Amino acid sequence: MGRVMPYPKRDSSYAFIYDGTLEGLLCAIFETYRQKLVPSEIVTEENLQLRLGQQPITIPTSPAIAQRVKDGLCRDCSRSTFSAIGVAFLSDEPDKGTAICSFVRYAMREKGNVLGQIAHPCVEPMVKLHRFVMNERRYMMQFLRFREMQGGVWFAACNPKANVVPILMDWFSARFNTQPFIIFDEAHGIAGVSHNGAWTLVKSDSLTLPKETTDEALMADAWKRFYDAVSIKDRYNPELHRSFMPKRLWGNITEMQERIPDNSLRRQ
């Protein structure tokens, strides 16, 4: 049996700074091998909190190096491992770079798919990031509410706790088929724009949208009334309601909005 190499300890004297992209993080992970140095933190500049005597090292982003790390992970571990890393990276946690680096180094050492080893200290944090992001994606799949805008475009706004629009678009594009739609993440300033079954991502803090169609208010109110009609008041459980439909999402959920007076819903 070969000698088991000890897992390198983090050096609290150093912190790696990357540019906030997945490619930048992969380059920072590459540098831990090249410099034979595992820093205590791998963070973006905005999340850096230096301790006394700690030295920051800014890692440049190289697409070629990032691709090299990706190829190594897919070859020595699995494509599903790299896919899981990509999902975990969409988390808003400031220390996600540190957690992903620990996971990558362990996975590369083991030369296999280690995602199932959820009790291992190098795997558990990454798996938690992945699970949280996928839960946010599931919430958006359930609770996004689209409004019909003039010009035939459907629009939905959301405020997820992770940057999930990139992993939502394939699912909604398949459902909408060729119907044009926009999903705008107000929290992360990113919009997914779909047209004729193809979609792209656009970075923007705000969007200028066409007006709603004349029937949109009627349809929204009809949906609210249907929601009320099928509910059973005597069995209403507020805590259970909030557990299935988190209150932080209610601002963009049609059925949770105030009712519109009947006289304002008459067709012109």
Q: How far is CA 1 from the centre of its chain?
A: 42
What is the three-class DSSP state of 182? strand
C-alpha–C-alpha distance, residues 187 and 133, integer Å: 14
What is the three-class DSSP state of 261? coil
Q: By C-alpha distance, which of 129, 46, 58, 47 is closest to 89?
A: 129
pLDDT by 10s per residue, the chain, length 268? 334 444 555 667 899 999 999 999 999 999 999 999 999 999 999 999 888 888 999 999 999 999 999 999 999 999 999 999 999 999 999 999 999 999 999 999 998 889 999 999 999 999 999 999 999 999 999 999 999 999 999 999 999 999 999 999 999 999 998 899 999 999 999 999 999 889 999 999 888 888 999 888 888 888 888 888 888 887 878 787 777 888 888 888 888 877 555 544 444 4
Eight-state DSSP code of residue 95: T
Q: By C-alpha distance, which of 164, 15, 179 is closest to 101?
A: 15
pTM higher than 0.75 for the full model? yes
